[in-house]
Every structure is written in C-alpha cells, then in structure tokens.
Structure 1
C-alpha cells in the first residue's frame, strides 16, 4: 500500500476533465444507482475497502496548495 504523495499524471488529468462528463451523464440516465454514495461497497466490497484506505493514506500535489 502506498503512503504519502501520489504521482501526478498529466494524461489522466486531461482525460478526466474532457471525456468523463458526457459519459457520466449518460450512465447516470441509464444505470440505476450509478453515482450514488455507497454503491461501490455493494458492487465490490474488497475494492471499496482498498480504495478507502488508499484515499486516507495518500495525498495529491494539488492538496498542498489548498
């Protein structure tokens, strides 16, 4: 498990800002329960637990400027 600063990725940062919005709008209209809190635990509890720990033990470079 990683601790500390996450490695920034310019490629991923651009992708999430451009292609994600339209895709999320379509998925929210079609898939019931998409985008609601807690659905990750229902779908895959092991992954949700791992992601929760990762989020608490690492930080982004952008968090330093807040």
Structure 2
C-alpha cells in the first residue's frame, strides 16, 4: 500500500541528507560501478524502484506547502 498525502517530516533524516559529504559520494562512485547513475535502481531492484516512483508522485513534503 502506497502512502498518499503529506510525508511526516523527520529532522534526523533532513540533517543527514544535508551533511552527507561530497567526498563520500565521490569515493562510492569510484568504487561501486553504477553508483549514482540514472536508472540503475531499475536494474538493481525493479520492485523497489517502481514503488519509489509511485510514492514520489502520490506524496508531498511539508516544505512543499511553502513553495
């Protein structure tokens, strides 16, 4: 069942997303082939990718209310 409506805001996840360093992503990109490539999720786990696509279209962020 996919959620519909506003996502519950999480301060912890919000801070984590803003502080994940550029160097960490650069290292992962160098070590893991396909990391950060568009559409790689569909190859790795199509069921999860399909769910995420629908979830993204049916929910909105608390901060979207102020845009």
Calculate the TM-score normalised by the size of structure 1. Answer: 0.88
RMSD: 1.2
Query: Could you list the per-position Cα deviations for residues 25-61 of structure 1 after superposition, in whole angstroms to 9, with x for gaps in the alignment?
Result: 2111211111111000000000000000100000001
Between stretches 20-29 and 38-47, larger displacement belongs to: 20-29
Gaps of 5+ in 2: none
Q: How many matched pairs? A: 66
Q: Which residue of structure 2 aligns with residue 51 of structure 1?
A: 52
Structure 1 49/20 Cα, relative in aligned 2: closer, same or farther at 3 Å?
farther
Q: Which moved more, 1:12-21 or 1:41-50?
A: 12-21
Q: Match of 1:50, SS?
A: helix
Secondary structure, counterpart of 2:34 in structure 1: coil
